[in-house]
Amino acid sequence: MKKTLSLLLALVLVLAVFALPAMADEKPVLTMLISGDNNPSEVNSVLTELGNRIGAEIRVTMVSKTDYSSKLNTMIASGTEPDIYGVLDTNTLLELRDAGRLLDMAPLLEEYGPDILAYCGDKLDMPVANEDGHVYALVSEAGTYLKNLTIRKDWLANVGMEMPTDLDSFYDVLYAFTYNDPDGNGVKDTIGLAPSMADTSSFQHILAAFGIGVRDWDGKVLLEDGTVTTFIKHPRFLEAIEYLRKLYKDGVMDPDFVTLTNMQMFERLWQGQTGIMGFQSVGTTNNWYPGRYTFEVPADPSELFGFAYLNGAGAPKAYPDYKKASAVIKASCKWPELAVKLINYIYYTEEGQDLTYMGVEGVHYEWTDKENGKFQRLGIYTDDVVHRADGAFAYNSSGGYTKENAETRLMNKTTQDSQAAEWACATEWPYIAQVVEADVEYGATLKDIVKECFAQLIVTNGDVEAEYQEFVARWDEEGGLEVEAEATAAYQEEQAAK
């Protein structure tokens, strides 16, 4: 018996010795779930190059944006979620964390995520999933573009005016753009401002000039007594309404602003019907330029467009959505160090961002003027379909998790400079990172009340003050006071923790 046991133990040791090289040669595999509308080949140049640089085989499941959450939920329910994925639902994110299914990246960041650590710093505490120094989630800052007040410089020259700097000079420009034939065609076919209730960007700069920072119709302001509440309770709200009423009454603002869609608002600019647009320069001077404009435009957008700041105020600041997670790592990941290294490389380093956004340098593209973001695609990769099939613009559609990233580096100088200038004078507002439960319950209703209030007060022939008080009372009664109390407490708590 002892002899048999000894032989078995010897056999096990021999097998173990022979197995060691195989285990040592085992190539790490990392899996990812990524949302996107491109559908690259399962094996492609970008993924292969990325794996070589990280030291692992990278397997990616691509899911359309509309199907992403349902696909992820199915995988979570069956315990087959990938190593790296994003979570769009706050409750799901917190449930995963509390169930111990998310990796705490904090102990690994110094060695494997130095760029994450350097970029995020104290902001690592901002995501709702992170607490007490634990880092379960990373949140992208990509796409946090500010709105710009874009104005046609050629029209200004045609009517003999300068770029407006305050509300009075802005009104004068609107009047001239409406009544003084700014396009020089001898026909009254232009309008000063063509805003849309579909997007607060139309009104952000006017409101900011009154000290009211609003990024959306559910936007909040901080009152002098420390209360965080709806922006319609701002002490200067009715002043702003009276200004907008004057624009509407004097015909320098599109009378159809309530029903205009976003696309119709854009078309007013593209087709030369208005020379002013409250929208991010990423659209007006970059993505839309020159192709969207139906009139002849100069090669350099700075020759056509300039940017106004009324009373020195820029658009409201933009913050990431810290209630979600752009990337988490599952707790049972076999290669956690490499997973952190992969996220760090793709989303936080310039080299990794460029690879996963544009492709392999020298294969898919080459720089023609890197300092100014100019490059050209090579060979067969000038074809968009072929380019994307080989992995470009697939795994990092926003250009990275940093505010300046592969996407912003490819923007023209006019757009880059205008965004930087807007940030320099951006308007503050009381951002709250955590979930305000009353907002979840009553937010949709309250948002509708605010939109109705805003539009009606501009066009009404009735008693503005009386109608305003009725809207405020409705907002309070429909759950607004609960939102106000919870938002104020949450904001004060977050400020105290800074």
For tokens 């060691």, the residue is: 20
3-class SS at 201?
helix
Nearest alpha carbon to residue 477 among 436, 449, 453: 449
Token pair belonging to 305 = 């467009």
Burial class of residue 154, CB neighbours in 10 A (0-12, 13-18, 19+):
middle
| CA gap 313, 147 in Å, rounded | 12
Nearest alpha carbon to residue 402 among 22, 119, 212, 192: 119
Question: DSSP letter at 463?
Answer: -
CB atoms within 10 A of CB 13: 10
Token pair belonging to 498 = 């800074």
Q: In what order do the strands lie in the sheet with 57-63?
A: 57-63, 29-35, 84-87, 325-329
193: left (phi over 0), alpha (psi -120 to 50) or beta: beta
pLDDT at 26: 77
Burial class of residue 131, CB neighbours in 10 A (0-12, 13-18, 19+):
exposed
CA dist 171 → 106, 354, 457, 497 (Å): 53, 44, 19, 43
| CA gap 187, 467 in Å, rounded | 38
Instruction: Tell me whether the omega of the peptide bond preceding residue 255 falls within 30 degrees of 0, making it cis.
Output: no
CA dist 32 → 137, 339, 340 (Å): 15, 10, 12
| CA gap 169, 415 in Å, rounded | 24
| CA gap 89, 400 in Å, rounded | 21
For tokens 């169930």, the residue is: 99
Helix axes of 464-475 and 437-459: crossing angle, nearest 10 degrees: 170
Q: Give the containing element (helix H, strand E) for 474.
A: helix 464-475
Helices (H) and strands (E) in the chain, counts: 20, 11
Greatest C-alpha distance within the chain:
110
Q: Are 222 and 305 in contact (CB under 8 A)?
A: no
Note the residue count of the chain. 498
CB atoms within 10 A of CB 234: 22
Token pair belonging to 269 = 């600019």
pLDDT at 25: 60
| CA gap 155, 158 in Å, rounded | 5
φ and ψ of 80, to 5 deg: -115, 25
pLDDT averaged over consecutive 10-residue blocks of the chain (498 residues)? 41 41 69 93 96 97 95 97 97 97 98 98 94 96 96 98 98 98 97 96 97 96 98 98 98 97 97 98 97 97 98 96 97 98 98 97 95 92 96 94 96 96 97 94 98 98 98 98 98 89
- Domains of the chain and any CATH numbers: 24-143+321-403 (3.40.190.10), 148-316+428-497 (3.40.190.10)
φ and ψ of 393, to 5 deg: 55, 30
CB atoms within 10 A of CB 347: 27
Nearest alpha carbon to residue 327 among 395, 386, 420: 395
